[in-house]
Amino acid sequence: MRLIVQKYGGTSVGSPERIRHVAERLVATQRQGCRVVAVISAIAGVTDSLLKLARDVSAQPSERELDALLATGEHAATALVAMAVNALGAKAISLTGAQAGVLTDRMHTRAKIANVSPKQIHELLSDEYIVVVAGFQGQTAEGETTTLGRGGSDLTAIALAGALNADACQIYTDVDGVFTCDPRVVPDALKIEGIAYDELLEMAGAGSKVMQSRAVEFAKKFGVAFEVRSSLKPSVGTIAQAETANMEDVVVRGVSVERQQAKVTVTGVPDKPGSASRIFSAVSAANILVDMIVQNASGRNSTDISFTIHAADLPKVEQLLGPVVGDIGARRVSAQSAVAKLSAVGIGMRSHSGVAARLFDCLGRGGINIQLISTSDIKIAVIINEADVDRAAQLAHEAFGLGKQARVRKAP
């Protein structure tokens, strides 16, 4: 008998109607002859309002108590889903992360899964229960409740699918799947049928926030294939899976954009060991995430270093770097906000040449200036003015033949 893990996010259980709809889907899946495990997130907005409540009563709530509080969001949602299934005349039971056997380390609010022992789930499945598991939470060896970081229900679903050796893992969400670009930016973007884990990671990191990155990394490590699909429509979604040979035939799988970036440049950095370390130690000590880093080839014993951060972090970074620049003997710091990152992603880049040239060519012809460039083996990313980013995405999408028209032309 097939075993299916279905994960439903916060918007999919956002109202009583939607909860009933999820219940119907679970029952229908069981009636097709499957064993069904559901992983449920807190109702949309609940985790945020619990966090707000915590901050309203305490400037610095303890992480242990935060976990105890946040776990209640998923507790409520799973109980409601189980009730809705029972109301349809089928059998369901809700389980906390601990009852489901999700064992984690002790890092409250961002715990890592150490082990999953789904013995109880197996027993309940044999008794024909639909097992409804609270996502995003686990338990330490000492029995303390932990949570897995924001978006952590995705990770629960992948980890359970792996531990149960499930035949399918379906991530139901409010989008239809993973697209070649955000359809709000590029109207003829297409749903991608199959995507490699690494491509999804690069695209998620680049701003298409379909899945928690940690969940995708976990899926890659343990080879758990999963499907991202809509909870509101019956259509199939996008399958994320290990690479197959013919996946490399497509040079670029998708184009993604990330807005609200800022570019910081330190000029006249002395070309000697330790300079870069001083700059980036100062930034990381403030817990600020740096994305792209570019250092120029040096001339006359000094060089320029540029990097990008989220625009919201810019005032802090400028303030931090002021003294550092003096200390290391660099010339000055300059910054520009209102820039954005555009990335073209595809494992096919490993075996095809000319991808960068094609991207730069379409941007150049569109009169779009490139400010920084960085590459990995499956991604080319550029920093451009934020005002240009929609048009840049449309041009790149077309240049790589990703849209609907391109497909029609190729298949006469």
9 binds Mg ion per the rule CB under 5 A: yes
Residue nearest to ligand ASP (CB): 153
The DSSP letter of residue 191 is B
- Compute how many residues bind ligand ASP; rule: CB under 6 A: 13
The answer to whether the CB of 81 falls within 8 A of the CB of 92 is: yes
8 binds ligand ASP per the rule CB under 6 A: no
**From Mg ion, ligand ASP, none, which one binds at residue 135 (CB under 5 to 8 Å depending on kind)?**
ligand ASP
Each residue 101-140 as x (binds ligand ASP by CB under 6 A) or -, in order, gives ----------------------------------xx----
Neighbours of 59 (CB within 10 A): 6
47 binds ligand ASP per the rule CB under 6 A: yes
205 binds Mg ion per the rule CB under 5 A: no
Cα torsion through 257, 262, 263, 265, rounded to 10: -170
Residues 73-92 that bind ligand ASP (CB under 6 A): 73
116-122 contact pairs (CB < 8 A, 24+): 116/159, 116/160, 116/162, 116/163, 117/163, 118/160, 118/163, 118/164, 120/95, 121/37, 121/95, 121/160, 121/164, 122/164
152 binds ligand ASP per the rule CB under 6 A: yes
97 binds ligand ASP per the rule CB under 6 A: no
Angle (CA) 197 256 308, round 5°: 100
**From Mg ion, ligand ASP, none, which one binds at residue 73 (CB under 5 to 8 Å depending on kind)?**
ligand ASP
Q: Pick one of 21, 64, 91, 150: the residue that binds ligand ASP (CB under 6 A).
A: 150
Residue appearing with tokens 């990703």: 402
Residue appearing with tokens 């690494």: 198
68/80 Cα distance (integer angstroms): 19
Backbone angles phi, psi at 137, to 5 degrees: -135, 155
Q: Pick one of 3, 10, 164, 345: the residue that binds ligand ASP (CB under 6 A).
A: 10
Q: Pick one of 118, 135, 138, 151: the residue that binds Mg ion (CB under 5 A).
A: 151
152 binds Mg ion per the rule CB under 5 A: no
Backbone angles phi, psi at 198, to 5 degrees: -65, -35
Provide the minimum distance between the beta carbon of 9 and Mg ion in the complex, in angstroms, as a whole number. Answer: 4
By beta-carbon proximity to Mg ion, the closer residue of 139 and 212 is 212
Residue ranges in contact with ligand ASP by CB under 6 A: 9-10, 41-42, 47, 73, 135-136, 150-154
